[in-house]
Amino acid sequence: MLGGLAIGQTRITGLLEGEDVLATAAAMQALGASVERQDDGAWLVQGVGVGGLAEPADVLNMGNAGTGARLLMGLIASHPITAFFTGDGSLRRRPMARVTTPLALCGAQFFAREGGRLPLAVVGAKAAVAIDYRLPVASAQVKSAILLAGLNSAGTTRVTEPEATRDHTERMLRHFGASVVRTELDGVGVIELQGEAVLRGADVLVPADPSSAAFPMAAALLVPGSDVTLTDLCLNPGRIGLIQTLREMGADLAVENAREENGEPIGDVRVRYTKLHGVTVPADRAPSMIDEYPVLAAIAATASGKTHMPGIGELRVKESDRLAAMATGLGQCGVDVDANADSLTVHGADHVIGNGRSGQAIKTDLDHRIAMAFAVLGLTARDGVKVDDAAPIATSFPDFVPLMRSLGADIRIGVAADA
């Protein structure tokens, strides 16, 4: 997105070529940017400059890319163009009002289905004004959408967040030349971006995604004798909540070769099999690991004692109701679980039975992280674990199955799949 708004060429290496990323790249092409994959795997983006987005000739189909859709709405909101968004069945169920409500403050108009859901039309502002907005709930997506709208707005865009959220967007904006400053007073953060910005094309090395790395990390912890090193992993302080939690659970986990790329801290993480114990995860840690709770719940199923995860109501409005999906699926696998509106408690056991020999597969509800979390649990379950649909995994981690197989996992895809 930022390369598409920059002047000149942006070269991206290390890009995760999942369906979400490809849908976002296609949308940027429809908005006038040149986006091409090179034979060596690098991606080249020729930008149109801030203010230079073109009106797309067709509907922008974002597939399952919730982050892509919400952030693109921010980009478009401050440009005088009209665009239409749709997505797959899962994305069309997700609420967009949390983004469209603040974005309307810049002068944009949004027309959506009941509940602010896709399909949705954006009519960008003809002369966008800067937004000053206090986040009612911690959300890096909302914050990022507002900041992206601020790039083509007059004045200083300001976002106040009572609870710190991941700051990848701020770091990347600075990398492309935008003026972004964060101040903090009494634990409340204020991010300010100077509008009518000029971005310059830049080289970008994308660090490995902690949310994707969580799955082989979990597998290494659960399967006796495992020793796995994950290279070039993003260690942004706003993304290491799972690592902090696993260490508290007793995980044998070490960070090696720590360094910085594009303003982001990265390093290699070595993980070895460990018998873990349950913990209470602080509620204020949720923003730093919100996407990792499904796999944490799978890990907790084999930990001694109980693992209590409060303050995770946000999981109910992800690609699926992830809190309910994990509670139901774990129950099918013989795991004792307590769930309410915004918390999940998993009572660990020495042995998880699994559902691989039963007739009812776990319902993933088009959610890639639910599918992967139960696939990992299946590696240690007595009867294996069977899920109903592995196809959604490609949205974020297209190489999940071959990677896990290369590490020794027995994952079978088909009508009679056992895991």
Set 88, 167, 232, 291: catalytic member: 291
Strands (E), 150-263: 156-161, 180-185, 188-194, 203-205, 227-234, 252-261
DSSP string, 260-322: EETTEEEEEEEEE----B--BPPGGGGGGTGGGHHHHHHHHTTSBSEEEEES-GGGGGSSS-H
Q: Residue 147: CB partners within 8 Å, gap ≥ 6?
A: 74, 157, 159, 169, 170, 173, 180, 191, 193
Burial readout 341-358 (b: 16 or more C-beta within 10 A, e: otherwise): ebbbbbbbeeebbbbbee
- Rounded to whole angstroms, the Cα distance separating 342 from 311 reads 5
Q: Is 69 left (phi over 0), alpha (psi -120 to 50) or beta?
A: alpha
Q: 215 with 397: CB under 8 angstroms?
A: yes
Would you give the DSSP letter of residue 387?
A: B
Q: Is 186 a catalytic residue?
A: no
Q: 18 with 397: CB under 8 angstroms?
A: yes
Cite the active site residues: 291
